[in-house]
Amino acid sequence: MALVCLWALGSGAVGVKQGSAQTLVDSCGFFPQISPDGQWLLYSPTEGTSLMLKNLTTGTVQTVANEGYPGFDAILAQDGKVYYVTQQRKKNGLLYRTGHCYDPATGKDQVVLKPQHGRVQPLHAARGVVINGERQVYRNAKQVGAYCYTRGDMLYLVDEAGNTRALQPVQDSNGYLWASMSPDGTKVLFEAASRGLFVCDLNGEYITELGEFLMPCWYNNDYIIAMNGANGSRVWLLSLDGEVCKPISPRGERAVQPMTAGGKVVYSLLYSGEVKQLELDIAPVLPPAMAVGKGKTEKVKNPVNKKDVPRVFINPGHGGHDSDDRHVPTWVIGRQDTIHYYESNSNLTKGLALKEILENKGYETAISRKTNYTEDDLELFEIVALAANSGADIFFAIHSNATGVERRVNFPLGLYRGWDGKPVVEGSLKLSELVMKHAVKNELAVWTDKERSNGDWSFYDWGYKVGLGVLRFNKLPGMLSEGSFHDYLPERERLMNNNYCWLEAWNQSLGIDEYFKRNKKFQNGVLAGTVRWRDIFREDNEVQMFNEDRQLTVNGAMLRLYNDRGSLSRVYNVDDLDNGVFVFTNLMPQKYKLELYYGNEQLYQTVKIKVKKNQTSYKNLTLKKNQKPLKK
């Protein structure tokens, strides 16, 4: 995503103090936060598996927590305590999240919010801290003041009395993130994914648009600190009046995750985790005194979900026909024309199908995009933050693969964060193996190898523990599914059929069902197959093809499906995109008769097949060149 600043880049009269830059942590420090007095630094080592607190005066470091991935959701509060969230994965695959308070003075850790399903997030309030859950909320004092948070594409404001208002200041966004109230409590800063950074008033009327920036925070009532992207990014200083819009971190550092307090700005370097600190020559705002009183937990009046059902975050890879989208022009025999294949198209088709399938099965879902424009090609930090904000139990990214070499292959590949056999987040390897197990059973595809599940650190050689950006800083059990290889021509032709993409999503849902131990809950099944010529072969000898894929597909065939009472249940017309695909969805489990028609709707074949509940039944059909039609 390119940087967009709505004003000319200003030098501004403000900037970084001379000689203020210093290194606070040499390596492996992420999500840094500094206390208002500048004495303490909270950070998480690589992958968020622990949470550390460093005394910047003495240099001593103490461990706040080292279980439940505490490094992603934490607040270093004005009272000197650390408020954070851990997650625990149950046997049924659901994640339950717990709120904690750690006191560095005593070294004691207290559970302040009991485990609950869904999103649990610590938030800064005007005079305190809130750990905001979907069913219960913890406040560290009776009167913490106003605060705000986001859920999906809604912005929520909670006033002094605890009353909540839902606002939607920006339309057509992929979701709201990183909301915070200005120190004076009159404005709200937030990022609308795919739209940019905004400031609105307490009625949701936006005051100004700041451009495409991520992870923003208030420096004072007039200035904002933010970053401008995951790769090659820098920390920027922005003013609400538009006079200042300039980078303050050195070029080439790849600075991420900026935070500010007490006139100091801290940030991490993307790959090394080195934590840097800068001071600005503008006055910060002194925070109001924190409310004093015993913490309190209250039930949410209208919980988001009534039951604890699995929640899946779906990320259809890429977005828009941009430079990172793998465009392949393809000559189609059936149409005698060139069709333009884009991976983003098939990824989105699969993602929307998976969303619908899972919701029909009783899951809750969230998705990173529903359209396919340049604006939908979100930054990796946005995708990870949207997933966390959804309160999901798993993260599921959808792609197809390409070898980039002359010899083509085709097999399902699942990638998870970590080394082979050693996932960073518990459950990721199991999820990948189950999804790949069902993916490779697809008998419409011709596979050149068995399915694989690999850690992204082992699979990619572009740097030690670099791996896939979309899995970095992601604490959810998750994977990226390379469902097949689209540079293998016959597979690309199948991926241009939306029903084939639906079938891949259906098979993914079977693996997800098994992961959550729900594979016996659903009744209906699927019937799918291909129609090929038995004795007519493709003439393109320059394109590598395997086994049945050498046989020419039957464009324009028609399938009629009859139920066990002899009634016509469905009709499917095979397209003219050289894939021969047919898919019948949402079928009651029973025995069916399948009839194949071709050429002036003449009947050429009749077969019987049984459809089982929550399974895929396959039947690939062939026609002979001189085969005579059957008598009906």
**536 touches 548 (CB < 8 A):** no
Tokens of 379: 């930054």
Task: Please name the residues in contact with 420: beta carbons below 8 A apart, sequence gap of 6 or more.
Answer: 454, 455, 458, 459
The CB-side HSE value for 442 (13 A sphere, CA atoms) comes to: 33
Q: Quick one: pLDDT band at residue 8, thresholds 50, 70, 90?
A: very low
Give the residue, 632 or 317, on which the prediction is more confident: 317
Rounded CA separation 44/579 (Å):
49
| Residue reference for tokens 């639906």 | 502
Tokens of 16: 């970084």
Q: Quick one: pLDDT band at residue 106, thresholds 50, 70, 90?
A: very high
Is this structure's pTM higher than 0.75? yes
- pLDDT at position 20, please? 86
* Digit-coded pLDDT (tens) for 32-78: 999 988 999 999 997 889 999 999 999 999 999 999 999 989 999 99
C-alpha closest to that of 295 among 473, 83, 509, 133: 83
| Residue reference for tokens 């059909």 | 621
* Digit-coded pLDDT (tens) for 394-421: 999 999 999 876 678 999 999 999 999 9
What residues does each domain of the chain span?
A: 22-299, 309-522, 523-632
Q: 523-632: which CATH topology?
A: Immunoglobulin-like (2.60.40)
Low-confidence winner among 44-58, 229-243, 334-348 (lowest mean pLDDT): 229-243
Environment class of residue 449 by beta-carbon count within 10 Å: exposed (0-12), middle (13-18) or buried (19+)? exposed
Average pLDDT of every residue of the chain: 93
Q: Per DSSP, which regions of 270-416 are E strands?
A: 275-279, 296-299, 311-316, 328-332, 337-341, 364-367, 394-401, 413-416
* Digit-coded pLDDT (tens) for 436-479: 999 999 999 999 999 999 999 999 988 889 999 999 999 999 99
pLDDT exceeds 80 at position 13: no
pLDDT exceeds 50 at position 373: yes
Q: Is the dihedral of CA 347, 349, 353, 355 positive or negative?
A: positive
Identical fold, 309-522 and 523-632: no
Range 22-299 classified under CATH 2.120.10.60: yes
Say what percent of the chain tops pLDDT 90. Answer: 84
Q: Which residues pair with 23 in a beta bridge?
A: 276
| Angle at the Cα of 494 from the Cα atoms of 434 and 433, rounded to 5 degrees | 10
* Digit-coded pLDDT (tens) for 521-578: 888 999 999 999 999 999 877 788 999 999 999 999 999 999 999 999 999 999 999 9
Rounded CA separation 5/226 (Å):
12
Highest mean pLDDT among 158-167, 535-544, 576-585, 621-630 belongs to: 576-585
Low-confidence winner among 27-31, 34-38, 427-431 (lowest mean pLDDT): 34-38
Range 309-522 classified under CATH 3.30.420.40: no
Count of beta carbons in the 10 Å neighbourhood of residue 277: 19
Rounded CA separation 20/280 (Å):
8
Rounded CA separation 25/32 (Å):
10
Looking only at the bridges linking them, the beta strands covering 616-618 and 602-611 are unpaired
pLDDT exceeds 50 at position 221: yes
C-alpha closest to that of 143 among 132, 131, 128: 128
pLDDT exceeds 60 at position 610: yes
- pLDDT at position 1, please? 39
Task: Please name the residues in contact with 59: beta carbons below 8 A apart, sequence gap of 6 or more.
Answer: none
Question: Left if phi > 0, otherwise alpha if psi is -120 to 50, otherwise beta: which for 107?
Answer: left
pLDDT exceeds 90 at position 336: yes
pLDDT exceeds 70 at position 4: no
- To the nearest 5 percent, what fractions of the chain are helix, strand and coil? 15, 40, 45
* Digit-coded pLDDT (tens) for 180-199: 999 999 999 999 999 999 99
Tokens of 388: 């966390």
255-279 average pLDDT score: 95
pLDDT exceeds 50 at position 6: no
330-342 average pLDDT score: 94
Rounded CA separation 191/397 (Å):
22
Q: How far is CA 188 from the centre of its chain?
A: 25
- The terminus-to-terminus CA distance of the chain in angstroms comes to 59
- Tell me the H-state helices in 259-408: 343-360, 380-389
Tokens of 151: 């859920």
pLDDT exceeds 90 at position 511: yes
Residue type, 312: V
* Digit-coded pLDDT (tens) for 107-128: 999 999 999 999 999 999 999 9
